[in-house]
């Protein structure tokens, strides 16, 4: 499965692309062209500092013009300092010389007062001093002057400074169009670029039309595309979701791996037709809606006729009733971990045992008889959770979450509560667990969403007409809303007052 990222200009450089957002899964399992809204704007390369320049960008208005002699800082300590009592040029003792020349803070043999670079006599010249040595101005500039950032020749006279470098005016032009640089400028690989030519030269290119990308673009299959260039490899339809085959994107209809998309009841091809789905994504024709019974476990449309003498069950619930003791341990751990995310923790755990309904009725309280689960107590202490055999995994999870509510109240020393309060708390534990069950295939743009079957179970709790179970849950929920309390806060209130907050 692949994902796509859309981006736009304005916030980051070409070399530091970012994205943030969400992947969408389509209704029938397709990959979506979407997603993360980031950008590649700025149209600038990433440069080093002035001392180790790699590349960069600035505004042409930031450059300055100068006409002075500027010394290259890298050559600032190149000359050797003259030693006292020695001629700086020949380095011989000058103490007893017949004649000397005193200049630039040192004493010289007259014939040794020469330019260190061209070796010409400097006694009748106006020297430029560098570290106590006399230079002709031309020699000084050649030896120590600042080099142009493009041609590497010494810059004399008018010069342009930008991006931490100095340039001849004739070199301060775009390397591509040779026009004087204005506005946003860029330096890359030893060359200067105007903004338009830099974008054309360095900006990422579309994997479809191969033109430079600008504005929003899509990232998919390790390539970047204009949104209108990301099309099906066969029919050329612009893709909003896609299937990948041999590195190419296809629409659902052209996908070489596509399986027949048929009604789960009559097996008529649903391609291009409107259809409905039950909780478990089983598609069926609209005309079948209401003609088949609802599943007695999950209350969704049953897409097959029930077996004779058995209650109607959907395909999912028929195939997922093989819960064993090992599975119950895994389920209990999952329930406890998910409830912990809501701030609901019990100090120790208890085994879960699968039994028939008669066994549950033996240990269940009066209000719990006939329910698919109960907690078996030894005196005041809980011993184990009993769950009816033959239930699907999701129903077992829901039942265990309810029983954990009872155990929580017991282990935390709550006073004896009226059945409506205790069952209301336990039903709230069930709902909080169900709210953690996220659909692995969320709808686009809405973030993680609760699984449809979990939503159905929450609905059953909220609409339960039992005064004890449904009434208790609604009483607690309304009290939390009225008092603006979280569940942990409401539980503290119940501990103190043995009744719902209000």
CA dist., res. 420 & res. 367, Å (int): 10
Whether pLDDT at 323 is above 50: yes
CA dist., res. 106 & res. 250, Å (int): 84
Q: Please, what is the angle between helix 393-411 and helix 325-340, to 10°?
A: 60
Residue 352 is predicted with a pLDDT of 94
User: Where do the H-state alpha helices sit in 303-411?
Assistant: 315-319, 325-340, 357-363, 393-411
Q: Are 195 and 185 in contact (CB under 8 A)?
A: yes
Phi and psi angles of residue 467, each rounded to the nearest 5 degrees, phi first: -65, -35
- Environment class of residue 138 by beta-carbon count within 10 Å: exposed (0-12), middle (13-18) or buried (19+)? middle
Whether pLDDT at 32 is above 80: no
Nearest to 172 by CA among 183, 160, 164, 163: 160
Element (H, E) at 258: none
The three-state DSSP-derived secondary structure of 382-427 is EEEEEEECCCCHHHHHHHHHHHHHHHHHHHCCCCCCCHHHHHHHHH
pTM above the 0.85 mark? no
Domains of the chain and any CATH numbers: 1-43+203-254 (2.10.110.10), 55-70+146-201 (2.10.110.10), 73-144 (2.10.110.10), 260-319 (no CATH), 325-497 (3.40.390)
Q: Which two tokens stand for residue 150?
A: 């493009």
CA dist., res. 190 & res. 171, Å (int): 12
Looking at residues 221-230, what average pLDDT do you find? 88
For residue 176, the tally of other CB atoms under 10 A from its CB is 15
From residue 433, give the alpha-carbon distance in Å to each of 108, 199, 402, 423, 426.
95, 52, 9, 15, 11
Model confidence band, residue 501 (pLDDT cutoffs 50, 70, 90): very high
Q: Are 254 and 248 in contact (CB under 8 A)?
A: no
Q: What confidence tens digit (pLDDT) does each residue in 51-65 have?
A: 333 345 555 544 444
Among 40-44, 180-184, 348-352, 382-386, the least confident range: 40-44
Phi and psi angles of residue 456, each rounded to the nearest 5 degrees, phi first: -65, -40
Looking at residues 482-500, what average pLDDT do you find? 95
CA dist., res. 407 & res. 282, Å (int): 37
Q: Are 9 and 40 in contact (CB under 8 A)?
A: yes
Phi and psi angles of residue 416, each rounded to the nearest 5 degrees, phi first: -60, 125
Q: Are 137 and 92 in contact (CB under 8 A)?
A: no
Q: What confidence tens digit (pLDDT) does each residue in 252-278 have?
A: 778 887 767 788 888 888 877 888 888
């Amino acid at each position: 499965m692949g994902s796509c990222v859309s981006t736009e200009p304005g916030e980051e450089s070409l070399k530091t692309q970012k994205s943030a957002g969400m992947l969408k899964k389509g209704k029938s399992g397709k990959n979506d062209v979407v997603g993360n809204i980031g950008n590649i704007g700025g149209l600038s390369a990433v440069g080093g500092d002035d001392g180790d320049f790699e590349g960069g960008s600035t505004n042409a208005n930031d450059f300055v013009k100068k006409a002075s002699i500027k010394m290259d800082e890298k050559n600032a300590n190149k000359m050797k300092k003259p030693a006292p009592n020695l001629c700086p040029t020949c380095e011989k003792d000058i103490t007893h010389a017949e004649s000397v020349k005193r200049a630039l803070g040192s004493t010289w043999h007259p014939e040794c007062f020469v330019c260190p670079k061209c070796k010409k006599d400097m006694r009748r010249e106006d020297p430029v001093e560098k570290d106590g040595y006399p230079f002709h101005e031309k020699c000084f500039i050649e030896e120590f002057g600042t080099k142009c950032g493009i041609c590497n020749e010494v810059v004399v006279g008018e010069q342009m400074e930008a991006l931490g470098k100095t340039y001849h005016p004739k070199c301060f032009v775009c390397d591509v169009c040779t026009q004087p640089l204005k506005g946003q400028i860029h330096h890359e690989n030893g060359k200067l670029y105007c903004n338009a030519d830099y974008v054309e030269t360095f900006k990422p290119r579309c994997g479809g039309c191969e033109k430079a990308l600008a504005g929003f673009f899509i990232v998919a299959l390790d390539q970047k595309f204009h949104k209108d260039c990301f099309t099906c490899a066969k029919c050329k339809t612009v893709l909003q979701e896609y299937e990948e085959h041999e590195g190419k994107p296809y629409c659902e209809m052209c996908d070489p791996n596509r399986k027949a998309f048929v009604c789960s009841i009559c097996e008529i091809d649903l391609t291009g037709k409107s259809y409905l789905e039950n909780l478990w994504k089983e598609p069926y024709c609209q005309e079948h809606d209401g003609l088949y019974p609802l599943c007695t476990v999950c209350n969704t449309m049953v897409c097959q006729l029930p077996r004779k003498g058995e209650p109607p069950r959907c395909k999912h619930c028929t195939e997922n009733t093989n819960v064993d003791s090992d599975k119950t341990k895994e389920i209990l751990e999952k329930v406890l971990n998910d409830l912990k995310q809501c701030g609901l923790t019990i100090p120790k755990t208890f085994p879960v045992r699968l039994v028939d309904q008669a066994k549950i009725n033996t240990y269940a309280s009066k209000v719990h008889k006939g329910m698919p689960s109960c907690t078996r107590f030894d005196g005041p202490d809980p011993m184990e959770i009993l769950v009816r055999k033959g239930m699907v995994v999701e129903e077992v999870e829901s039942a265990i979450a309810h029983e954990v509510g009872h155990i929580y109240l017991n282990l935390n020393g709550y006073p004896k509560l009226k059945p409506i309060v205790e069952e209301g708390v336990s039903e709230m534990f069930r709902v909080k667990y169900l709210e953690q069950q996220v659909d692995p295939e969320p709808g686009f743009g809405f973030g993680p969403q609760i699984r449809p079957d979990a939503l159905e179970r929450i609905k059953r709790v909220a609409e339960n007409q039992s005064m004890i179970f449904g009434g208790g849950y609604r009483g607690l929920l309304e009290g939390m809303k009225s008092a603006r309390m979280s569940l942990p806060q409401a539980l503290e209130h119940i501990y103190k007052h043995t009744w719902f907050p209000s």
